[in-house]
């Protein structure tokens, strides 16, 4: 699977691939659910390339670490999905 930072770079720099409407699905820890937002509504943190910035409808700033991005949609079609996280092994797992 292509890493998310490579996919975002391709969307940004490959003019042909970057055409269309992109939507990111990110894990919202407070809501305990995946939230979807247009990529065009998300900014980049120039000081930290591992963070994206979102300003919500109430004007609050949210930092979204790249590792919380779970899905990428292009023109309504799912093009990328992070593999589900596996549970950490326990002592009983051997």
What pLDDT, in 10s, does the model give residues 14-65?
A: 999 999 999 999 999 889 999 999 999 999 878 888 999 998 888 888 899 9
Domain boundaries, the chain: 4-83
* Cα–Cα distance list, 37 to 20, 41, 51, 62, 71 (Å): 14, 7, 15, 12, 11
Alpha carbon distance 6, 87 (integer Å): 26
In this predicted structure, what is the pLDDT of residue 49?
87
- What's the predicted TM-score (pTM) here? 0.82
> What SS3 class is residue 90?
coil
**Residue 94 pLDDT greater than 60, yes or no:** no
Domain 4-83 has CATH 2.40.50: no
């Amino acid at each position: 699977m292509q890493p998310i930072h490579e996919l975002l770079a391709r969307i940004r720099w490959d003019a042909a691939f970057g055409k269309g409407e992109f939507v990111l699905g990110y894990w919202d820890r407070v809501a305990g659910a995946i939230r979807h937002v247009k990529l065009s509504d998300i900014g980049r943190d120039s000081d930290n390339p591992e963070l994206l910035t979102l300003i919500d409808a109430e004007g609050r700033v949210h930092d979204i670490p790249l590792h919380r991005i779970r899905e990428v949609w292009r023109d309504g079609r799912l093009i990328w999905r992070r593999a589900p996280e596996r549970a950490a092994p326990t002592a009983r797992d051997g």
